[in-house]
Amino acid sequence: MFNVGDKIVYPMHGAGVIDSIEEKDILGEKQSYYILKMPGEVKVMIPTAKAETVGVRNIIDKSSAEEVIGILEKDETEMDKNWNKRYRDNMDKMKSGDIYEVADVVRNLSFKQKEKGLSTGEKKMLNNAKQILVSELVLAEHASQEEVEQLVENKINTSFMMFRADEIQPESVVNKFIPFDGTGTND
C-alpha cells in the first residue's frame, strides 16, 4: 500500500508522485485509485488493488541511483543482431520495471544509434526508455529534468568514446592532398 506523497514508478510510464487516492466509479464499478502526477503535468490513475500486480514500486534511493548511472558508464551488453529479436528483448527489459534494465536499454540503444543509427521503432523505444530513466533519476537525485538529461547524455557520450571511438572508421578518408586542377603530384 502506498500513501499520498510517495514517489513511485509505474513500469513503461516512469516515475511520479502520488497526488491523491480517490474512489472512482468507472463503468459501474467503484474502486480506489492512486492518482499519480507524472512529469509534464500528466496524471495517471492506477487501481490500488492492482498496483503491485502491474509492477508499481517505490523509486530507488540515492545510492541505487549512483549504481544506475554507473551502468551508463559501462560498455554495452551484447544484443541480438536481428532487430526484431533485439526489439522484443529490449521491450521485455522495459516492461520489467527494473531501472537497471531500463538503463541498459538506454545505453545499448544510444551506442547503436551513434554507430549506425536506429530504426524508427528503436528510436521511439530509446526516447521512451530515456524518459522513464530520467523521470526516476530526477526524483531520486532531487535534481531538475534538464540536469539529469545532461548527466545521462554526458555519461553515454563518455562511455561511447571510451569503448567505441577507436572502432569507428570513417568510410572514405583522404590521406593525401590531391589538387583539383590536376597540376599536383601524389607524393
The answer as to whether 178 is a domain residue is no
pLDDT-derived band at 187 (thresholds 50, 70, 90) equals very low
5-28: per-residue pLDDT in tens?
Answer: 999 999 999 999 999 999 999 899
CATH value at residue 40: 2.40.10.170
Both 156 and 68 in a single domain? Answer: yes
Both 47 and 83 in a single domain? Answer: no
According to DSSP, the residues that pair with 69 across neighbouring strands are none
Cell 512529469 sits on residue: 39
**Upper half-sphere CA count for residue 124 (Cβ side, 13 Å):** 6
| The three three-digit cell numbers of residue 179, written as one number | 589538387
73-87: per-residue pLDDT in tens?
Answer: 999 999 988 889 999
Residue with the larger pLDDT of the pair 185 and 162 = 162
pLDDT-derived band at 40 (thresholds 50, 70, 90) equals confident
pLDDT at 97: 92
Q: How many domains does the chain have?
A: 2
The answer as to whether 81 is a domain residue is yes
pLDDT at 116: 87
> Residue 42 belongs to what domain range?
7-58
Both 17 and 73 in a single domain? Answer: no
Both 23 and 112 in a single domain? Answer: no
Both 90 and 33 in a single domain? Answer: no
How far is C-alpha 70 from the geometric centre of its chain's CA atoms?
A: 14
**Upper half-sphere CA count for residue 20 (Cβ side, 13 Å):** 4
